[in-house]
Amino acid sequence: MFFKKRKYDNLTDLVASCQQQDRAAQHIFYERYKRKMLGICQRYTRTVSEAEDIFQEAFIKIFKHIDELREPELADQWVKKTIIRTALTYYSLTTKKEQVYTVITEEELNLETTDGPDIISRMDLEVLLTIIRELPDGYRTIINLYLIDGYTHAEISQMLSITESTSKSQLSRGKDLLIKRIQQHGGVEYERSRKRS
């Protein structure tokens, strides 16, 4: 699809043009967020196809409600919140609550190390995100919301319709499981490097 080129001096102008149903502006606005926001979708989902579905659904909402954006300079935060809320809605509709907060056995959570934050900080970002995506839905969601996107437990409790104490306990258990999975991943990498040498 080809659009006549038009200059948009800043984000405020771009948003204003989108609010006027300017197709070229909508295309530029979409492309502005596509890569980064699709990455956020992938953090909240298990598969790339799920992430793409959520991203497309979120942008339908964004263009439908862009007239409600009264402070165009806050568009980046508004788009991100819409993306995250769409991802949360997707899982609330497709995953039973009992499945979202998967019970992990105490044996799986039993850790012999206290250097969790150090392990996480030393991880390659892409590898870390891959491991996060493999966590059960509930743990992955709260780790994303709290550790990566910076929401408080009070905000998470409202977003997920759970208590703050549930959010805190899910975060604690999720972090434990994340560290355990990172340790396992490290062990696999060590074995692979030893075999190659």
Counting DSSP H helices and E strands in the chain, the numbers are 11, 0
pTM here is: 0.74
Q: Where do the CATH 1.10.1740.10 domains begin and end in the chain?
A: 1-94
- Rounded CA-CA distance 67/127 in Å is 39
**What pLDDT, on the 0 to 100 scale, is given for residue 191?**
40
Q: Where do the CATH 1.10.10.10 domains begin and end in the chain?
A: 96-197
Do 72 and 16 contact (CB within 8 A), yes or no? yes
The CATH architecture annotation of domain 1-94 reads Orthogonal Bundle (1.10)
**What pLDDT, on the 0 to 100 scale, is given for residue 144?**
92
- Taking the CA atoms of 126, 131, 137 and 141 in sequence, report the sign of the dihedral they define: negative
Instruction: Output phi, psi for 134, to 5 deg.
Output: -85, -5
Chain centroid to Cα 18, Å, comes to 25
- Summarised one tens digit per residue, pLDDT across range 156-165 is 999 998 999 9
Query: What does the mean pLDDT of the chain come to?
Result: 80
Does pLDDT of 96 surpass 60?
A: no
- Summarised one tens digit per residue, pLDDT across range 109-152 is 343 434 444 556 666 777 888 888 889 888 999 999 998 899 99
Q: Which fold has domain 96-197?
A: Arc Repressor Mutant, subunit A (1.10.10)
